[in-house]
């Protein structure tokens, strides 16, 4: 989906405000963080993981005729979960990474993030 170009920092901040368990959000392009916001402190860098996630999402998108359009990828860890949402900003493919403290209600959290992204949508890609 393509989203309206607005301040990436503001998008990340608003996403963090969607749910109490969301502790941080980043927008990355080609493994480089272009915008980020955290509730407090800083987080370990995810550049390598983001590059790998972008590659995996591109593989899933190539198979979307058989599987349908990919919406997000989840990495479930002991202390924090990561959600990776593919987004397109001004025809540039990016990844929205959302960091979530466990425990939380999965459907509620993902629903809020997808609804937010959907409100920014211009066109399907």
Residues 80 and 102: beta-carbon distance below 8 Å = yes
The answer on pLDDT for 3 being more than 80 is: no
Tell me which long-range contacts 104-111 makes (C-beta under 8 A, separation of at least 24): 104/19, 104/20, 104/21, 108/19, 109/18, 109/19, 109/21, 109/22, 110/72, 110/83
pLDDT at 111: 96
pLDDT at 73: 95
Q: How confident is the model at residue 2 (pLDDT cuts 50, 70, 90)?
A: very low
Q: What is the percentage of the chain residues whose pLDDT exceeds 70?
A: 91
pLDDT at 121: 63
The tens digit of pLDDT for each residue in 60-93 reads 999 999 989 999 999 999 889 999 999 887 778 8
Residue ranges and CATH numbers for the domains of the chain are: 2-120 (3.30.450.30)
Question: Does the global pTM surpass 0.85?
Answer: yes
Helices (H) and strands (E) in the chain, counts: 4, 6
């Amino acid at each position: 989906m393509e989203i309206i170009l607005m301040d990436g920092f503001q998008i990340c901040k608003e996403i963090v405000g969607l749910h109490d368990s969301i502790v941080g959000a980043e927008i990355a392009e080609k493994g480089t963080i272009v915008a980020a916001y955290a509730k407090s402190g800083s987080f370990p860098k995810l550049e390598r993981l983001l590059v790998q996630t972008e590659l995996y999402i591109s593989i899933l998108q190539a198979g979307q005729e058989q599987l349908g359009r990919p919406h997000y990828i989840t990495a479930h860890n002991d202390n924090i979960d990561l959600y990776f949402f593919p987004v397109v900003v001004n025809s540039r493919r990016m990844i929205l990474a959302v960091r979530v403290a466990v425990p939380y209600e999965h459907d509620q959290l993902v629903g809020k993030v997808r609804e937010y992204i959907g409100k920014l949508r211009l066109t399907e890609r």
